[in-house]
C-alpha cells in the first residue's frame, strides 16, 4: 500500500505552493498597495508621479515625486505580514 503524504511529497507540495505565492506577489494586481504607499508618501494631496516601483516576492518598494519645485521624493517600502502571505504594511524610512 502506498502512502500519499511521504516527506518528499509534502516538501514538493510546500515548495510548489511557495512558488505560486511568490509569482503572485510579483505579477498579481497591486493597485491597492500602490494607493496605500502613495497615501503614506503624499498624505491627502496626490503625488506628482510615481518614479520607481520595485516588486519582489517578499516586498514592494516605491519612489514618489512629492513636489515639483523644489523637486522632492519620498521612498516607501511595503512588506507582507508574513513571508509570502498576509496584508501589506507600508512604511517610509
Per-residue pLDDT of the chain (93 residues; tens, 9 = 90+): 456 668 888 899 999 999 999 999 999 999 999 999 999 999 988 999 999 999 999 999 999 999 998 999 999 999 999 999 999 999 998
pTM of the model: 0.85
For the chain, state the CA radius of gyration: 18
- The alpha carbon dihedral of 34, 36, 38, 40 has a sign of negative
DSSP count for the chain of H helices, then E strands:
2, 4
Q: What are the sequence ranges of the domains in the chain?
A: 30-91
Cα–Cα dist 73/93, whole Å? 12
Amino acid at each position: 500500500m502506498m502512502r500519499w503524504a511521504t516527506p518528499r511529497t509534502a516538501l514538493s507540495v510546500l515548495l510548489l505552493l511557495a512558488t505560486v505565492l511568490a509569482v503572485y506577489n510579483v505579477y498579481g494586481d497591486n493597485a491597492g498597495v500602490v494607493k496605500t504607499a502613495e497615501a503614506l508618501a503624499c498624505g491627502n494631496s496626490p503625488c506628482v508621479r510615481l518614479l520607481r516601483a520595485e516588486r519582489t516576492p517578499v516586498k514592494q518598494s516605491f519612489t514618489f515625486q512629492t513636489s515639483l519645485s523644489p523637486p522632492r521624493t519620498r521612498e516607501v517600502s511595503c512588506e507582507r505580514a508574513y513571508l509570502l502571505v498576509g496584508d501589506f504594511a507600508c512604511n517610509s524610512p
